[in-house]
Structure 1
Amino acid sequence: MILATDVDYRESNAVAAGILFERWESESPVKEITVRVSNVEAYVPGQFYKRELPCIKALLDTIHDSITCILIDGYVYLGKDRKPGLGKHLWDMLEGQIPVIGVAKSAFADTPEPAELIRGNSIRPLFVTSEGIDAEIARQCVRKMHGENRIPTLLRRVDALCRKGHGARGMGRGAWDWENMLKFFILLRPQCCQTYVYEYSKFQ
């Protein structure tokens, strides 16, 4: 099974979510898991893994299926110097037994261009890094994941799953996402609806 993970935070509490699926092209998960984690560490710039890694570990402790690869929301390596990111620390915690692929939505300073991946009709890249699996193979795996937009279907789903644990909706960790912004603009300017729909589709 392939495992996609994500974590959503509310102050000192978090919900870690995981989706298990069989093939990279899968549209639907085999299983969904959520775990509530209390007393998570405060965010420290440059040490994000100390906050998120315990949450992913708590999630993994509840999974008894055989996992062939783990997808995280973030980086395995940071920048051209390949500084260890969340994914590398996860790889080390697992003693190199399971390949880890990081899929980041935002660019990190000096991220090598080969890490960029354009999907669907989007003009914005995802940033794919990995350990335990060849970097190009990792990008191809993410490329062929189900979904015509920038973010694969199951990565959107696991994001929504962890946020749902807090009663929230949307993509990412911010209060607003592109879908909600689109709805807001349409309410303001109904006559421009088609333009906003086009712009929204380009960024997904």
Structure 2
Amino acid sequence: MIYAFDTYYYDGFAKTICIAFKNWDSENEEAIYSENTAITSEYESGAFYKRELPCILSLLKKIDLKESDIIIVDGYVTLDNDGKIGLGGYLYNALDNKIPVIGIAKNGFAAEDSKRREVFRGESKTPLFVTSQGIDVDEIKIAVENMSGSYRIPTLLKKLDQLTREK
């Protein structure tokens, strides 16, 4: 199963959604998980993971993860060639490096990262940025290119984003 996570912040709480789907080319989700949690830390520039990681780990308690599963986060897993990691890297470490984690980011990151791939979908001239740990990033690049939907953002990831913003 593939589990895609996103969190949106409202006054005083964070709404985390997870959409589960079977295959990279799935058109529909198998399940949706949701949780509202109190915000435990303020936004800290350069340390986004401190705010979002607890939300994802809390929601993961509702999911029976298997080592064959994959997790997607909205953001980065790796950030540069010097070993700096993003939200996905911290999640990978928190899961004892047993569950592959993929980051799909909408915005570029300035530092060079040989593990980062650009993915162009549909007619968009703006890429998505893909990073991973625990799974080959070149395989993931192809998988993301082939996700359902004809626009820059795959259909299920667009739905995930929309669900986080619903009050």
- Tell me which interval the TM-score lies in, with the shorter structure as reference length: over 0.9
Match of 2:51 in 1: 51
> What TM-score do the two structures reach when normalised by structure 2?
0.93
CA contact (8 A) 1:12 1:40 kept: no
1:19 aligns with 2:19: yes
CA contact (8 A) 2:39 2:51 kept: no
Q: Read off the aligned partner of 1:15 and give its amino acid letter.
A: K
Give matches, 1:1-204, under 5 Å.
1-64=1-64, 66=66, 68-112=69-113, 115-164=117-166, 167=167
**How many Å separate the matches in 1 of 2:145 and 2:34?**
26
SS at match of 1:83: coil
* Post-superposition CA distance 1:44-100 (Å, at most 9, x none): 011110000000011101112546100000000113434111000000000011100
CA contact (8 A) 1:12 1:42 kept: no
CA contact (8 A) 2:78 2:113 kept: no
**How many Å separate the matches in 1 of 2:3 and 2:51?**
20
Greater mean alpha carbon deviation, residues 10-19 or residues 45-54: 10-19
SS at match of 1:77: coil
**How many Å separate the matches in 2 of 1:153 and 1:62?**
24
| Paired positions, count | 165
* Post-superposition CA distance 1:13-64 (Å, at most 9, x none): 1000000100100000000111011133111011110000000011101112
SS at match of 1:24: coil
> What TM-score do the two structures reach when normalised by structure 1?
0.77
Q: Read off the aligned partner of 1:104 and give its amino acid letter.
A: A
**How much is the aligned-residue C-alpha RMSD, in angstroms?**
1.5
* Post-superposition CA distance 1:161-201 (Å, at most 9, x none): 1111xx2xxxxxxxxxxxxxxxxxxxxxxxxxxxxxxxxxx
**How many Å separate the matches in 1 of 2:147 and 2:92?**
22
Structure 2 unaligned runs (5+)? Answer: none
- Structure with the greater alpha carbon radius of gyration: 1
CA contact (8 A) 1:104 1:128 kept: yes
CA contact (8 A) 1:12 1:41 kept: no
Q: Answer 1 or 2: which has greater helix percent.
A: 1
**How many Å separate the matches in 2 of 1:65 and 1:50?**
22
Q: Read off the aligned partner of 1:87 and give its amino acid letter.
A: G
